[in-house]
Structure 1
Amino acid sequence: MERLEADYVIVGAGSAGCVIANRLSADPNVSVVLLEAGPADRNPWIHIPVGYFKTMHNPTVDWCYKTEPDPGLNGRSLDWPRGKVLGGSSSLNGLLYVRGQSSDYDRWAQMGNRGWSWEDVLPLFKRSENQERGADAFHGADGELSVSNMRLQRPICDAWVAAATAAGYPFNPDYNGETQEGVGYFQLTARKGRRCSAAVAFLNPVKSRPNLKIVTGALVKKVEIENGRATGVSYLAHGRSDALVTCRREVILSSGTINSPQLLMLSGIGDGAQLKDNGIEVVHHAPDVGRNLQDHLQARLVFKCNEPTLNDEVRSLFNQARIALKYAMFRAGPMAMAASLATGFMRTGDHVATPDIQFHVQPWSADNPGEGVHPFSAFTMSVCQLRPESRGEIVLNGPDPRTYPKIFPHYLSTETDRRTIVEGVKIARRIARHAPLKSKIAEEFRPTADLAMDDYEGTLDWARNYTASIYHPTGTCRMGQDERAVVDERLRVRGVAGLRVADCSIMPEIVSGNTNAPAIMIGEKCSDLVREDNRQIA
């Protein structure tokens, strides 16, 4: 059996794990082992912004999870891509840099999680950020994570922004600034037309450090626990041989909202009855492991256009060659595109103080990003509820780490969630009827114009059939002060010493926006906490 030893063992080289490995290994007096189940990020499509068309649903770099049939979606199952590669989901995602609202983090602090208010976390966002626009009160310019403006513009997205402002929504040039509310254009995690994943930003500059060992192809089987303390992890190396890493200080799980609770349960930390049903000895009864699952559900409206869109640009081989040449020469054009160009953060009514819906606007349309675009001119207007009340869970499906757990999202299971998605669809359709966008739309394709604007039940049923995940699962190792919380405000797993969780699973409530930037912030926060606590011990 292969054996390694280190001061710190980090499980998962995703957005948070890469940051933690970088920060902890900056101290030459400590050793760090970073384990990743997937391969190195050598697939060239990972580094091309539009490469998510090729990497999502590709089992060599994507876990390719799928939810259980969901009653809230009329029994449909949804694909949940998750990165299985250095960089984790930041190597597959749509590159959109969104932090959420300041009130998100203030609510975390109000729940008793000291150190997680907006005032506390803003410096962590700024620390990581290398903002193309320069530093200011809300942005940093000296960090590793490149944040840049779009290198692509399309008239249909400009028309959407103009129509939204005509409909009464203010233009906002910086949704990560003083206020989130308004419409504008996304920024993305890219530099000079190349994806800036967490691996590119945080691992590549430090991977030659002698005190940092990065191990790929390492599927962790469980955390080793002796006398109530984590002493290391056992793993399967490249699917063939057993291996073990022992740690002198801490094990840190940064495996994501699905894998982190699964690993806790495989290690005997979880609901006692569920563990026994799966033949696992109970080390610590923690009934909320895997629960509190939250996700952003998007309704994807598609409108046929009377002028060309990106659908037309990519259909012919000649145009594909022209696009490839433009990217090769200038790192520009459609291949430098993030998942969406335009965005909007809006309130569905005066009953909410801050935006409760978000738009992702794309100059193309498809049933699924991995299946190619529609054979007609069209664009997509996607809208999601930012703070869903629905709560799902991850359920263990056997003692073998190679067997995927069951995912029960429980989408649209509250009246607030149903009402919000319906109102979001209505707002989208109203924007489409304002100039200058109105003149560019030839047909309401999905939903069709036959669906009456005020038909609540009809719109809800349409949403149940045509919504999809934006791939923002969170919350399954909830942080909190109550006894049922999985981790405390210092990310320490309750009931087991020397073990932390640091990824989006620790969110008590999902943030009001895309989750990659918050995951990196969580990595920054965890590295600070680990160093503080171990400095006190020393």
Structure 2
Amino acid sequence: MTRTIVVGGGAAGSALTARLSDDPDREVTLIEAGRADGVYPPELLDASGIRGAMPGHPATWTYEALLARGRPYAVARGRILGGSTTINGGYFVRARRGDHDIWADAGGPRWSYDACLPIWRAIEADADFGATALHGAAGPVPVRRHDGGLLAAAFTEAATARGHPLEPDKNGEQPAGVGPVPSNVRGGVRVNTGLAYIEPVRGRTNLRILGSTTVARIRWRGARAVGVETDVGGVDADEVVLCAGAIGSARILLSSGVGPQRPLSTLGIAVRADLPVGTAFADHPDIAVAWRPRGVIPDSADPFPFPVALHLDAAGRGGADGDLELLLAARPLDQLLTGSAAPDADRQVIVGLQAPRGRGELSLRSADPTTSPRVAYRYLEEASDRDRLRSGIRETAALLQTGALGEVCAGLSDLGDAQLQSDGALDDWMHAHLGTAIHMCATAPIGDVVDGAGRVLGVEGLRVADTSILPSVPSRGPAASAVLVGEVVARAMRAGD
């Protein structure tokens, strides 16, 4: 009987746990820092809002970060079974073929689009397209698109009026354009990976779930991982798989002596493997462009908050992948985050840079594993990133003046012609309004820290299986990609790789 510890029950960890525990000859212990009994506060599964994403919520880790010079930010990550799929917007969009090409270059053919397409199909139960060559109908994750009502229709009309193509299936490798956003929402419920993957297998005799248990570091015997140290004691295993997310997994690696030699030695941490953990992470910078509604806009009967998105390139037209995302918030962000907003509250279009050139750094502040790491995004330092974000903001301003969307928009809230017409002024405005999608990847990338099966280089018995290992942030939100990582690594492990 092979004993495996999975650290973290989020998007990747839940999928990996379910697939590994399919094997009756493997004993799997899932360790989750948050609640893991399958019971959720109602606001966490209510897909009409994202109240769980508020920093300080008891179901989150909250990390202090620096987006850019003078721009501090609080990053919330899920701390409950299902991880951040419990607190996010329910956006479930696949990575693009171009993303897979990058991953396969680093990790081998198992990461190619063609190799992963059967896994993508196995993950989903697509309510709109059913079982096809591109889609699955019997997977654990429900996928569907949403109506979005008057506002989504007006956004789509404005985008097509400005020459952007329709993209009815954003999981179908069509040319980038405007179309409905696939989600893992069913009947108004955010179906997180705890519900999708863990609840159906919770009763397995070879699966043990430890909730409210925080992993401090790896336990070693020489260069081999033999378990983990937690806040309630040690747990032994033949193999450990970190699925604690791009921040959590990197923090555990660093605290366990897997990371850059010099900074770890300075903190008095014995180095097991000198690897570039946390030295060049990637994420999606985003900026909410607020606009004033002309009167009260009726809400759609469908509660999904992000029903439609436009993907385009920096030249303003849909490219093969579209490195800018203009995501419509169907309700005011204040309402989505807090549950209430004035009827005439500002609305938002969220402009996200999907293929950023800039990279950030995650490092330890202390050898104490309970101390939050230092997270520096270094957004806006690359000239090309600023150029492309300006392009997305200017296109958003134009959309909001076009056709039916212009009829319901009374103007931008705090962005004027003076900023739109000057690169320097717009850069200042972007810095003041800068946010992050919290889509961090590449803190332990394939090729540099792990191999294509997630095995940590230079040690034995230790793997990572979450967005930490993706060498670049996918050009769409990474929730679906995180699930894919769990599936791919589980298959490698079960194959003996």
Q: TM-score range with shorter-chain normalisation? A: over 0.9
C-alpha distance in 2 between matches for 1:55 and 1:96? 14
Decide whether aligned partners of structure 1 residues 462 and 368 sit closer, same or farther in structure 2, where only a CA change above 3 A counts. Answer: farther
Aligned equivalents of 2:335, 2:56: Cα separation in 1: 13
Aligned equivalents of 1:251 and 1:439: distance in 2? 56
Aligned to 1:68: 66
Letter in 2 for 1:303: W
Shift in Å at residue 452 of structure 1?
Answer: 4.9
Instruction: Please name the residue that 2:380 is paired with.
Output: 412
Describe the shift of the 1:143–1:112 C-alpha distance in structure 2 as closer, same or farther (beyond 3 A). closer
Instruction: Name which of 183, 204, 221 aligns with 1:188.
Output: 183
Residue matched to 2:278: 290
Unaligned runs of 5+ in 1: 238-242, 314-331
Equivalent residue number for residue 451 of structure 2: 488
Residues 342 and 423 of structure 1, relative CA distance in 2, 3 Å threshold: same
After superposition, where does 1:9-28 map in structure 2 within 5 Å?
9-28=5-24
2:84 maps to 89
Deviation at 1:470, TM superposition (A): 1.3
Out of 384, 394, 407, the residue aligned to residue 439 of structure 1 is 407
For the residue of structure 1 that corresponds to 2:491, the secondary structure is: helix
Which residue in 2 is equivalent to 1:395? 363
Corresponding residue number in structure 2 for 1:471: 438
AA aligned to 2:160 is T
2:237 aligns with 247
Question: Which residue does 1:50 correspond to in 2?
Answer: 48
SS of residue matched to 1:202: helix
Distance 1:411 1:455, change over 3 A: same
Q: Which residue does the alignment assign to 1:36? A: 32
Deviation, structure 1 residue 309: 3.1
Q: Does 1:272 align with 2:266?
A: no
CA separation of 1:178 and 1:450: change in aligned 2, threshold 3 A: closer
Q: 2: distance between equivalents of 1:452 and 1:413?
A: 19
In 2 relative to 1, CA 392–368 (structure 1 residues): closer, same or farther, beyond 3 Å?
A: farther
Q: Give 2:476's aligned amino acid.
A: G
Q: Which residue in the other structure is 2:212 paired with?
A: 217
Matched with 2:158 is: 163
| CA-CA distance at 1:186 after TM superposition | 1.2
Question: In the alignment, which residue of structure 2 is the partner of 1:263?
Answer: 252
8 Å contact 1:309–1:378 — kept in the other structure? no
* CA distance in structure 2 between the aligned counterparts of 1:168 and 1:69, rounded to whole angstroms: 33
**Following the alignment from structure 1 to structure 2, what is the Cα–Cα distance between the partners of residues 200 and 434?**
41
C-alpha displacement at 1:43, in angstroms? 1.5
Among 504, 512, 523, the residue aligned to 2:475 = 512
Alignment of 1:97-108 (within 5 A): 97-108=92-103
For the 8 Å contact 1:279–1:398, the answer to whether it is kept is no
Q: How far apart in 2 are the matches of 1:227 and 1:112?
A: 27
Name stretches of at least 5 consecutive residues in structure 2 with no aligned partner. Answer: none
Distance apart, 1:110 and its partner CA: 2.7
SS in 2 for 1:514: coil
Deviations 1:432-471 (A, max 9, x none): 1211111211121131x34353311111111111121111
Cα deviation digits, residues 405-453 of structure 1 (max 9, x gap): 0101111111110101011111111111211111211121131x34353
Match of 1:320 in 2: none
Tell me how far 1:68 sits from its aligned partner: 2.8
Contact 1:364 1:373 in 2 (8 A): no
Give yes or no for contact 1:292–1:478 (8 Å, CA) kept in 2. no
Is the CA contact (8 Å cut-off) linking 2:466 and 2:482 kept in structure 1? Answer: yes
Does 1:304 find its partner at 2:292? yes
- In 2, Cα distance between the equivalents of 1:147 and 1:501? 26
Tell me how far apart the structure 1 counterparts of residues 67 and 453 of structure 2 sit (CA, whole Å): 35
Is 2:134 aligned against 1:146?
no
How far apart, in 2, do the equivalents of 1:142 and 1:184 lie?
A: 24
Which residue of 2 is the match for residue 347 of structure 1?
313
1:282 partner SS = coil
**Matching residue of 1:453:** 420
Q: Where do 1:195-206 residues align within 5 Å? A: 195-206=190-201
Q: 1:69-112: CA deviations, max 9, x gaps?
A: 622xxx11122110000000011110011112111101222345
Cα distance in 2 for residues equivalent to 1:352 and 1:390: 21
Query: Deviation of residue 113 (structure 1)?
Result: 3.0
Question: Which SS does the other structure have where 1:465 is aligned?
Answer: helix
Q: Which amino acid aligns with 1:458?
A: A
Asked if structure 1 preserves the Cα contact closer than 8 Å seen for 2:63 and 2:76, the reply is yes
Q: Percent identity?
A: 30
1:529 to 488, 492, 496: 492
**Per the alignment, do residues 55 and 414 of structure 1 end up closer, same or farther by CA in structure 2, a change over 3 Å counting?**
closer
State how far apart, in whole Å, the 1-side matches of 2:330 and 2:360 are.
32
Q: Secondary structure at the match of 2:13?
A: helix
Helix, strand or coil for the counterpart of 1:388? coil
Judge conservation of contact 1:309–1:363 (CA < 8 Å) in 2. Answer: no
Instruction: Tell me, in whole angstroms, the C-alpha distance in 1 between the residues paired with 2:111 and 2:159.
Output: 34
Q: Residue 352 of structure 2 aligns to a residue in which SS? A: strand
| Contact 2:49/2:336 (<8 A) preserved | no
CA gap 1:521/1:266 in 2 versus in 1, 3 angstroms = same
Which of the residues 422, 447, 464 maps onto 2:390? 422
One-letter identity of the residue aligned with 1:402: T
Whichever residue aligns with residue 309 of structure 1, its letter is I
Partner of 1:359: 326
Give the distance between the partners of 1:56 and 1:69, measured in 2 at CA: 17
**Quick one: distance in 1 between partners of 2:119 and 2:71?**
39
Q: Distance in 2 between matches of 1:304 and 1:348?
A: 26
Secondary structure of the structure 1 residue equivalent to 2:26: coil
Paired with 1:400 and 1:368, the residues of 2 have a C-alpha distance of: 38
| Stretch of structure 1 that moved more, 340-349 or 47-56 | 47-56
Query: Contact conserved, 2:312 with 2:324, CA < 8 A, in 1?
Result: yes
User: Is the Cα–Cα contact under 8 Å of residues 307 and 377 in structure 1 kept in the other structure?
Assistant: no
Cα displacement (A) at 1:120:
1.3
Q: Which amino acid aligns with 1:262?
A: R
